[in-house]
Structure 1
Amino acid sequence: MTLAIALYHPPMRLMPPPLLFQKGGAQVVGIAPEMFVGNRIDVLYATNRLPVGPRDARVYTVAPDRNLHFGTAHMRVGSEGTSFDDLVDWTTRNSDDRPFIHLEAMSETAALAPDDDPAEAADWFAAIDAALAATGARDLIVYVHGANTTVERAAGQAAQLQHFGAGRALVVLFAWPTAENFLRYPRDIETAFGGAPHLAELVRLLAAHTRAEKIDVFTYSAGGTVGSDGLARLAGDPGAAATRLGEVYHAAPDADFRAFATDLAAYGPIADRVTTAVNMNDSALRLAQLVNRASRAGRPDLRELSDDETATLLAASTGDRMQVVQVHPEAMDGLSARSHTFWYDDPWVSNDVLMTLLFHLTPGERGLVAGTSPQGVGYWTFPSDYTAHMPALVDLLRQRLPDAGRG
């Protein structure tokens, strides 16, 4: 029975509203009805999973493919008949009764082999530009999911990020192949490295063929391995990606810490900012460390670095462009001390994710406070009175957003 439960992959539930949305911020940030038809929302995707079935009803397998496939995931939030008013209620009020996010179908628009002309995916790029124009969004957020994740759950995570993004950025899911079986986790780490070149190519294509001003990258768990290696491949790239890489946010990154630090030194200078959110009691990363025999970037052990690597990391942590957000669950109401899923389970952390990716606020503006680890690494964390900072954050957004109160 325990094994059956562990192998079961239910759809994602819509995450609890980020704290700002619960404290009046939705009136300022707005909601994006342009992205919904009733309770349905479309999520654009790219994947290097091997497809089967007709193009208007694709199923993507756990096997990797050499091609990069592009299309649209058609999602439904809640049950049939759910209204947009229901969505507004779920967006502003926290409750235990959160709806599932169902994948209804995936329609593939194009596929590119490594040497194909990008013009063959012109319709997909045009769909991105049309969605940007419809909402007035300027940036794209490429979401990279974790290991042991079905396409439905990955698309559900991207959909809720897009929903609470309120149309201020467009989310593109990068679905890399996972075994969808926690017993095959080592294979997922191998395929994560295999997905890295495809992610790098996706960022290059988005920068070159869409009107997005910035390409942000948000990774979760083992998606941090895909993102870290993939972004390092962009270092020194003379193309548009080198100048349009915006925010990079790694939540609980399940990536080899030493390799992560090396990659960071490569792509950090071309990104607007790199943020890494960690929980030093993360139980999933504790297990991952045992399997991989090396600490993970979301639960790092500085003793693994050389003196020069440590000095470089310490210097970077004191600047404005590379930041660590340390999650202390004991200061948060209801968050497990060993949480690995904190970015979408906890309204404080999801709030910080959105304030970083959507509005590019500094940690201080977001209500975080500075600290320093015993090893001298600077970090930011949530004060115990974080909730009390929300009125000031609402006022700040009202001042800075020319279209405050839309939607």
Structure 2
Amino acid sequence: MRLEQITMPRSRLVVRVALALSLSSILVGCSLPEVEPLMPTPALYSETGATPLAHIPPNQRWTPRKVYFATTRERSESQQRVDYGNRQSSHVSVGLAMIGFGGPDMSRSDLDRASSQAEREASVPLSMAGLLEAGRFSITPTGQLEDASGTTAWLLDDLNASIAASRSPDLLIYVHGAKVNFYNANVFAAQLDHFMGRDMTSVAFAWPTRQNIFSYGLGDDLERAYRNAPALSTLLELLADRSIAERIHIVTWSAGGRLVTEALAQLHERHADEHPDLRERFRLGTIYFAAADVPGSEFIEALPRLEAIAERLVVTASSNDGALRMARRFMRGDERIGQIRSEALSDEQLETIRSSRRLEVIDVSRGSDQRGFDITGHRYWFNHPWASSDVVLAIRGGLAAGDRALQPEDLAVLWSIPSDYPHRLSTLLQRAGVPIRQDN
């Protein structure tokens, strides 16, 4: 059983609740502000003078961005708005969200400038400017899709039209972590898409995590993560069968990594005997596990199945990720892949990793002495411009680690971010013919 053990003696439960109270002010986990500002500009742009939006034709230069969503949250309505709350739904709802970038006075040139600056003149708030639910479908316990209303036909028709009109034929799916809401899932999908040049079609997969430390720390939301894996695996199967996407990429953060790991393993188990090449069958490109709260033994056990179904697996790790360190101490289990050290692995686990041909582990802490700074925290993958640049290059660039300005380390799958990373980024862009500042 992959779930953390959540049945415990009363004395241990009391200890955990007391610990949760004492840690609630410092153990932020995946939680984020209710109104999210645009993430810091990746060094790929701020350090080189390149901009993610310069190539967009004038007739497509508007500030909002459309995001598709698929959610297992129950729909809630009030006089003020329609939203999706924290209750688990028996359906998967799909639709469109329009994400606003900046306030009503922000022009496209203002957004262009803010998207290439290391230090912005003002914050760029992200808002839910519009929301449309197109319909619902059900997932059976065995992962079968039931759609009496024809929702999936609408979803695929509109999604395929978006892919056909995009500069990239690929699809990006974002799977969030714990302690965030429906709004957060959509704005993160939108801003990742934004810094990938608004070239792709993006989908937010929003599962019903709650916004408090108790649901996470006591295991309730982790159970929900595993429970929602069939919905994601069935959605991936639907997209593979009926979308025109050339490749389907996934970026997942923190506890979302457990959901993605389980969903891909289930997808493999359902189809391992049906097709000789599951990577060709499902067209899964890069699966990016950012600061993932996945126990190492669980991930390594699933690794052969994940490699059989995806083109590339990227895991980022920081030795100074306080949320993952406290999660292990508070919730037990072995070391998370977002922090894992080779000395914490058994010989058998190390052999599984060494034999991997599709795994890349980016240790963002390694080399900190040479750089003069560490890359720390639980949000570094979007808050630190060097780390977020690797997300863009891996997904939008489709580049392997050796081509993403990274430094190889002693273990074949292990990479770090070198001290001359900005210079390497400039060289990479020059070779690709991207205009950059002349002083780089």
Letter in 2 for 1:103: M
Task: Give the TM-score, by structure 2 length.
Answer: 0.81
Deviation per CA, 1:218-253: give whole Å up to 9, x if none.
Answer: 111111111111111111524787441111111010
Structure showing greater radius of gyration is 2
**Which residue identity lines up with residue 143 of structure 1 in the other structure?**
Y
Name the counterpart of 2:136: 111
Contact kept in structure 2, 1:323 and 1:380, CA below 8 Å: yes
Shift of 1:162: 1.0
Instruction: State whether structure 2 residue 360 is matched by structure 1 residue 323.
Output: yes
Partner of 1:248: 287
CA distance 1:258–1:229, shift in 2 (3 Å): same
2:297 aligned residue: 258
Query: Is contact 1:145–1:222 with CA below 8 Å preserved after alignment?
Result: yes
- What corresponds to 2:349 in structure 1? 309
**In structure 1, what residue type is equivalent to 2:330?**
V
Residue-pair matches, total: 391
Structure 2 partner of 1:219? 252
In the alignment, which residue of structure 2 is the partner of 1:85?
Answer: 109
Q: CA deviation at 1:51?
A: 1.0
Q: CA deviation at 1:76?
A: 1.1
The aligned residue for residue 197 of structure 1 is 230
| Shift in Å, 1:182 | 2.2
User: Hey, what does 2:7 align to over in structure 1?
Assistant: none
How far apart are the structure 2 equivalents of 1:87 and 1:305?
46
Map 1:279-298 to 2 at 5 A: 279-294=318-333, 295-298=335-338
Classify the secondary structure of the residue corresponding to 1:65: strand
Distance 1:353 1:32, change over 3 A: farther
Q: CA deviation at 1:32?
A: 7.3
- Map 1:33-182 → 2, pairs under 5 A: 37=62, 39-53=63-77, 58-96=82-120, 97-114=122-139, 115-117=145-147, 119-182=150-213
Q: Which residue of 1 aligns with 2:401?
A: 363
Q: Does 1:232 align with 2:271?
A: no
Once superposed, what is the RMSD of the aligned Cα atoms?
A: 2.8
Distance 1:91 1:32 in 2: 17
Measured after TM superposition, the shift of residue 30 of structure 1 is: 3.0
Q: Give yes or no for contact 2:67–2:202 (8 Å, CA) kept in 1.
A: yes
Cα deviation digits, residues 146-204 of structure 1 (max 9, x gap): 11011112211111011111133221110111111123212221111111111111111
Q: Report the counterpart of residue 392 of structure 1 in structure 2.
A: 427
Structure 1 contact 12–100 (Cα < 8 Å) conserved: yes
Task: Give unpaired runs (5+ residues) of structure 2.
Answer: 1-22, 140-144, 436-440
Unmatched runs of 5 consecutive residues or more in structure 1:
402-407
**Following the alignment from structure 1 to structure 2, what is the Cα–Cα distance between the partners of residues 266 and 212?**
22
Instruction: Tell me the equivalent position of 2:5.
Output: none
Give the SS at the match of 1:207: helix
Match of 1:404 in 2: none
1:66 Cα deviation (Å)?
A: 2.2
TM-score between the two structures when normalised by the length of structure 1: 0.88
Whether the aligned pair in 2 keeps the contact of 1:277 and 1:325 (CA below 8 Å) is yes
Cα distance in 2, alignment partners of residues 363 and 331 from structure 1: 22
CA distance in structure 1 between the partners assigned to 2:433 and 2:244 by the alignment: 26
Deviations 1:102-154 (A, max 9, x none): 12332111110124238432112222112212223211011101110111122
Q: Partners of 2:32 and 2:430 in 1: how far apart? A: 43
Query: 1:88 and 1:247 mapped to 2: Cα distance?
Result: 27
| Matched residue SS, 1:9 | coil
Checking the alignment, whether the CA contact within 8 Å between 2:248 and 2:284 is kept in structure 1 is yes
Secondary structure of the corresponding residue to residue 235 of structure 1: helix
Q: Distance in 2 between matches of 1:198 and 1:340?
A: 26
Change in 2 beyond 3 A, CA 1:9/1:335:
farther
Q: Secondary structure of 1:133's match?
A: helix
**For residues 373 and 89 of structure 2, what CA distance do their matches in structure 1 show?**
38
Equivalent residue for 2:381, pick from 313, 336, 343: 343
Which aligned segments of 4 or more residues in structure 1 are displaced greater than 4 angstroms?
2-8, 31-36, 301-306, 331-337
What is the SS of the residue equivalent to 1:12? coil
